[in-house]
Amino acid sequence: MAAAAAAAADGGGVDAAYRQQQLLLQQELQQQQQQLQQQQQLLLWSSEPFRVYPMLDALIQQQQQQQQQQQQQQQQQQLLLLLLEGFDAKYVSLFAVVSAGVLCVAAAAVI
């Protein structure tokens, strides 16, 4: 019975650590979103009077799109890490093996 109580206590600690890590990741994502909003607000060249320069505007829009894509990739990576941390290691390794197999089959189909 003491072993069951210890296992339950350990599981509770893992859950608490997992929740704490989720909160930290959410806070970090919110901070990144706030920084992006501040950067967009501070972009002088994106204001309406400067849109008469189409080349400059096109470059700025391209840069903004790249920044948004990078941020989306970072968020997706963080969410994937968050999801993977919730799984047991044997399931993660099984997922990696299956993913590698799917990639090999897809590569063979292309060739």
pLDDT one-digit tens code per residue, 75-95: 888 888 777 776 666 776 777
Tell me whether residue 62 is in a domain: yes
pLDDT for res 24: 85
pLDDT at residue 65, as a whole number: 92
In a domain, 67, yes or no: yes
Q: Cα–Cα distance between 40 and 30 in angstroms, integer?
A: 15
Which one, of 85, 81, 42, lies nearest residue 60 by Cα? 42
102 domain residue, yes or no: no
Rounded distance between C-alpha atoms, residue 84 and residue 89, angstroms: 9
Which of 7-16, 29-38, 82-91, 96-105 is predicted with the least confidence, judged by mean pLDDT? 7-16
| Residue 51 domain flag | yes
Structure-token pair, residue 56:
């400059």
Is residue 96 situated within a structural domain?
no
pTM score: 0.35
Residue 111 located in a structural domain: no
Q: Decide: residue 32, CB within 10 A, 0-12 exposed, 13-18 middle, 19+ buried.
A: middle
Q: Provide the number of structural domains found in the chain.
A: 1
Residue-range definition of the domain harbouring residue 25: 2-86
Residue 35, domain member (yes or no): yes
Q: Find, among 19, 9, 11, the residue nearest to 88 by Cα.
A: 11
Q: With respect to residue 101, please indicate whether it lies within any of the assigned structural domains.
A: no
